[in-house]
């Protein structure tokens, strides 16, 4: 088994391994690839497939070699691409059974009744037959990878015989693995999508998060756009700094205009999400923060409590759209469905209201 040594500099830092979803999964790799993966220089027992850190695998294949020792079985498993050794420890249950076989014979079996001892014996026999494989039988094995005496092997954590008389399991497996490779194993793992992604999108999401944090930390109930405009200033200046390095500032939009544009977009997002809403649409742009608006909370609660008393809603509760129209009539025309959903969620968390089924709410 010859594998090209990986430059330590090429290895992803061990700090980041856990972020790769493949790291914590039993990778269904072809045996051929398992044998060819490079071992990590930083931590032995970790291998790299296409820069993905892998330390446990899931394999299905035919047993082509078998050796039994007192404590373990050693199976050579062939999946059609390669052969790998699997160390399968005998479980304590399995070993106990050998001794138990004689002693349990003289136990009386009550006629027709449920005999736990006999049932347990059956269970053990079933387990034993699943762990005891002959050459030519199909084995499914999951376990950690290890290299000992320059041979790569699987230390099985789970293994069992697969009954596959018409090859249905094998066929399904063979069809699935190329898909897995195409969809995840062969794709390079990108740790910082935002670093390479569209910078305007990330600025927008950063700005949204800044405002959300600000509302929460300061318990803002309402604000006007120019109150929060300064919060977004650092985002704009950092953007223009990076841009000005590359090119001369042509007659583009001024910083102030950019800032206003950004704020406008952020407010649209926040309104769509229901985080903020405008109680009254007038010249004076006042935004209310939904979560902090006690009056809205009370209004919604009142609507539900009142209508829950009516016979029509008493059993099933009020539908969200019914609540929405009532709140719009009684409180403000501009409450959005998203904002109402947020309010309902917080009321439900406080047990002020109860949801009877999807989108139906009731208050007692």
Partner 1 sequence: MLPATAVFHFPWEIKSGAVQEGEAVRTFGRWVFYVLFLLYFLLVCYQPEESKATLSAQHASKEHNVVIHTLFVEPFNPIIGAQYVVLGEIENAEGVGVMVRARVLNCVDGVNVALLQKAINEQRSFFRERECKQHDAAQPADAT
Q: Is 112 among the residues that bind partner 1 (CB under 8 A)?
A: no
> CA triplet 333, 319, 353: central angle to 5 degrees?
95
Q: Is 169 among the residues that bind partner 1 (CB under 8 A)?
A: no
Q: Which stretch binds partner 1 (CB under 8 A): 177-185, 237-245, 304-312, 337-345?
A: 177-185
* Contacting partner 1 within 126-145 (CB under 8 A): 135-136
Phi-psi region of 30 (alpha: psi -120 to 50; beta: other; left: phi over 0): beta
Q: Is 147 among the residues that bind partner 1 (CB under 8 A)?
A: no
Pair 59, 140: CB distance under 8 Å: yes
Among 168, 195, 250, 251, binds partner 1 (CB under 8 A): 168
Among 19, 44, 45, 65, binds partner 1 (CB under 8 A): 65
Pair 73, 67: CB distance under 8 Å: yes
Among 22, 40, 47, 62, binds partner 1 (CB under 8 A): 62
Nearest to 154 by CA among 56, 70, 82, 66: 56
Helix (H) or strand (E) holding 175: helix 168-180
Among 72, 89, 160, 181, binds partner 1 (CB under 8 A): 181
Q: Is 104 among the residues that bind partner 1 (CB under 8 A)?
A: no
Helices (H) and strands (E) in the chain, counts: 13, 14
Query: Shortest distance, CB of residue 63 to partner 1, whole angstroms?
Result: 9
Q: Which stretch binds partner 1 (CB under 8 A): 10-18, 81-89, 345-353, 356-364?
A: 81-89
Q: Which stretch binds partner 1 (CB under 8 A): 11-19, 58-66, 218-226, 235-243?
A: 58-66
Query: Shortest distance, CB of residue 86 to partner 1, whole angstroms?
Result: 11
Q: Which stretch binds partner 1 (CB under 8 A): 97-105, 164-172, 262-270, 310-318?
A: 164-172
What string of DSSP letters covers 281-329? -SSS--EEEGGG-HHHHHHHHHHHHHHHHSHHHHTT-EEHHHHHHHHHH
Nearest to 270 by CA among 219, 213, 230: 213
Binding mask 84-103 for partner 1 (x = CB under 8 A): xx------------------
- CA torsion sign, 182 to 184 to 186 to 191? positive
The residue length of the chain stands at 364
User: Given the rule CB under 8 A, which residues bind partner 1?
Assistant: 31-32, 62, 64-65, 76, 78, 80-85, 135-136, 165-168, 170-171, 174-175, 177-178, 181-182, 186
């Amino acid at each position: 088994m010859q594998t090209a040594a990986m430059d330590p500099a090429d290895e992803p830092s061990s700090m980041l391994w856990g972020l790769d979803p493949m790291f914590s999964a039993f990778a269904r790799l072809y045996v051929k690839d398992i044998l060819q993966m490079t071992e990590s220089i930083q931590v032995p027992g970790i291998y790299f497939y296409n820069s993905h850190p892998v330390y446990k695998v899931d394999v299905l294949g035919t047993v082509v070699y078998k050796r039994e020792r007192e404590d373990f079985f050693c199976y050579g498993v062939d999946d059609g691409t390669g052969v790998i050794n699997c160390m399968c420890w005998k479980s304590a249950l399995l070993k106990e059974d050998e001794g138990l076989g004689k002693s349990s014979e003289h136990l009386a079996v009550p006629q027709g009744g449920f005999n736990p001892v006999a049932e347990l014996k059956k269970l053990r026999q079933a387990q034993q037959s699943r762990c005891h494989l002959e050459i030519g039988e199909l084995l499914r094995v999951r376990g950690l990878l290890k290299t000992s005496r320059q041979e790569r092997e699987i230390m099985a954590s789970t293994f069992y015989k697969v009954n596959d008389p018409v090859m249905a399991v094998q066929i399904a497996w063979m069809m699935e693995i190329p898909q897995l490779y195409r969809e995840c194993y062969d794709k390079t793992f990108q740790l910082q999508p935002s670093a390479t992604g569209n910078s305007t999108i990330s600025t927008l999401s950063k700005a949204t998060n800044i405002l959300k944090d600000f509302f929460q930390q300061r318990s803002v109930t309402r604000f006007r756009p120019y109150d929060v405009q300064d919060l977004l200033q650092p985002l704009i200046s950092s953007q223009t700094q990076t841009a000005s390095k590359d090119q001369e500032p042509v007659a583009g939009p001024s910083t102030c205009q950019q800032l206003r544009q950004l704020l406008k977009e952020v407010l649209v997002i926040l309104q769509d999400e229901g985080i903020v809403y405008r109680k009254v649409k007038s010249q004076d742009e006042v935004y209310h923060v939904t979560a902090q608006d006690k009056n809205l909370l009370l209004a919604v609660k009142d609507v539900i409590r009142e209508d829950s008393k009516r016979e029509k809603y008493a059993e099933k509760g009020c539908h969200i759209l019914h609540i929405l129209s009532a709140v719009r009539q009684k409180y403000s025309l501009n409450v959005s469905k998203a904002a109402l959903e947020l309010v309902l969620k917080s009321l439900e968390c406080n047990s002020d209201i109860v949801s009877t089924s999807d989108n139906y709410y009731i208050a007692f």
